[in-house]
Chain A
Amino acid sequence: GDSVTQMEGPVTLSEEAFLTINCTYTATGYPSLFWYVQYPGEGLQLLLKATKADDKGSNKGFEATYRKETTSFHLEKGSVQVSDSAVYFCALSAQTGANNLFFGTGTRLTVIP
């Protein structure tokens, strides 16, 4: 079945460091891929998305490229800020059917000044 494997955390970085959070997926067909972010005490918010191979999703300085050949969708940011501290979830939506997202386990990022 469809699934997402996400880099385990937690991740602790200094401010302005480079961030990579790995995500790989298993799915039939051509799923859509997402990164969601969860700030403390809140629900999840969509960070970025990509709907087909080689698409690059970007938002707030974060980027992820849909790589079908490696079934990956790694999240990157060139210079993290303290305000980026949150839990990040990789997710996929199957090509057909209802809007059911399959989530990874989440990666907690802490950025220290």
Chain B
Amino acid sequence: NAGVTQTPKFQVLKTGQSMTLQCAQDMNHEYMSWYRQDPGMGLRLIHYSVGAGITDQGEVPNGYNVSRSTTEDFPLRLLSAAPSQTSVYFCASSYSWGQLANSPLHFGNGTRLTVT
């Protein structure tokens, strides 16, 4: 069972470049989300989705776009990378969007992004 799969594991971009971080889950989870992890700041929510075709902003959405065309996939797009987006990015999913207490988040192994 693959769980939550993120690609790539590492990426280096130059300022202004664009890229897409991929996230796929094979658990038929309704809810998917993207977090960024920065030293001393924990994890902060970027965007989330409660089902195919539905997305919403989290705490730090600026500079990122998402879409959810299928239940399985939730890509995160950086349209014009900036050094402030250097971070480790985690995708997470859960079965039910409304009852996290009974449906914990499953995390991918992360993508380490460096923007120079």
Closest residue to B105 on the A side, CB-wise? A101
Residue of A nearest to B108 (CB): A43
Q: Is A14 an interface residue (CB 8 A)?
A: no
CA distance A23 to B40 in the complex (A): 15
A96-113 contacts to B (CB < 8 Å) = 97-101, 103-106
Interface size of B by CB at 8 A reads 30
What mask results when residues 42 to 60 of chain A are scored 1 for a CB within 8 Å of chain B, else 0?
Answer: 1111100101000000000
A-B contacts at CB below 8 angstroms, number: 65
> With an 8 A cutoff between CB atoms, is A89 at the interface?
yes
Q: A98-B98, A104-B42 are in contact. Are A49 and B90 (CB under 8 A)?
A: no
**Does A32 make an interface contact (CB < 8 A)?**
yes
Identify which of residues 20-43 in chain A touch chain B, using a CB-to-CB cut-off of 8 Å. 32, 34, 41-43
Interface membership of B2, Cβ < 8 A:
no
Q: Is A93 an interface residue (CB 8 A)?
A: yes
Chain A positions within 8 Å of B, measured between CB atoms, are 4, 6, 32, 34, 41-46, 49, 51, 89, 93, 97-101, 103-106
A-B contact pairs, 23 of them (CB 8 A): A4-B42, A6-B42, A43-B92, A44-B92, A44-B105, A44-B107, A49-B101, A49-B104, A51-B101, A98-B50, A98-B56, A98-B97, A99-B31, A99-B48, A99-B94, A99-B99, A101-B45, A101-B100, A101-B105, A103-B35, A104-B42, A105-B42, A106-B42
Beyond the given A32-B101, A43-B108, A105-B42, please list 14 additional residue pairs across the A-B interface where CB-CB is below 8 A.
A32-B100, A34-B104, A43-B109, A43-B110, A44-B90, A44-B92, A97-B98, A98-B31, A98-B56, A99-B99, A99-B100, A100-B45, A100-B48, A103-B43
